[in-house]
Amino acid sequence: MNNLLVIPSIDIKDGKTVRIVRGIPELNCGAYGNDPVEMAKIWRAENAKCLHVVDFDGAHDNSQKNFHIIRDICSSVIIPVEFSGGIRSLEHAKEVVDLGVSRITISTMAIENKKEFEKVFNHFGPKKIVISMDVVENELIVRGRSCKTGISPFDFAKEMKEFGVERFIVTDILRNGMMTGPNLDLSRKIAEISKARVTLSGGVRNKDELMDIKNLIPFGVDSVIIGRALYENRFPCQKLWRVAENGIFS
């Protein structure tokens, strides 16, 4: 595999597109406007191969008020949509998949309710389930990035890999939306320890840093989620996207 998959993030709160700074949705998206569905169409028009959609209302309040937006995004683009947003049960996961998403991410449930997570994982399998790890100073945080767990991300990654998980999304929350550069060491170490595939998230500013991430492909870091840097036009977009290898989103 020689190509790095670049995944735009669309973060939604109260029905609008927001930017995230250290895990907190606090800024709108300026010139791009606040409509998540229009944002999805823009990224598709600029040749994105898939999208990462975060429902912050779902993550914090277990709300479904943005579900109609998620459904509209999925029906408006022909590329896979990955969903993150407080999935707490198998029934909830089924409802989200029925919206049209291709893959769901799970964080809190895998830590706080392993029996329910096992039901979800066994029902959908490793191709549709990815574990999202939000990390602050080598500690996992959960419940919409609001509660510390005291759990090492490295120990948790090994546990989840033994469970059958094949992919992790790794976010250094202190770099998230801060434009301070990605935490390469964290993602590489999790990939090496778990022997799973890793999507890096948080801190990417420019094309040079994409090349730094691309150098981690041999270790298992094969994709990157980017938010703020894309919204601020820090890339020559038509040159940014890489054709995804077969199976990278399967």
Round to whole Å and give the CA distance between 22 and 1: 31
Round to whole Å and give the CA distance between 5 and 197: 12
Round to whole Å and give the CA distance between 232 and 32: 9
Phi, psi of 199 (to 5 degrees): -105, 120
Contacts with 133 (C-beta within 8 Å, 6 or more apart), sequence order? 107, 140, 153, 156, 157, 168, 169, 170, 171, 190
Characterize 30-48 residue by residue with b for buried, 16 or more Cβ atoms within 10 angstroms of its Cβ, and e for exposed.
Answer: eebeebbbebbebbbeeeb
Length of the chain: 250
Round to whole Å and give the CA distance between 20 and 8: 13
Type of residue found at 77: V
Type of residue found at 150: G
Phi, psi of 244 (to 5 degrees): -70, 140
Active site residue ranges:
11, 134
Element (H, E) at 54: strand 51-55
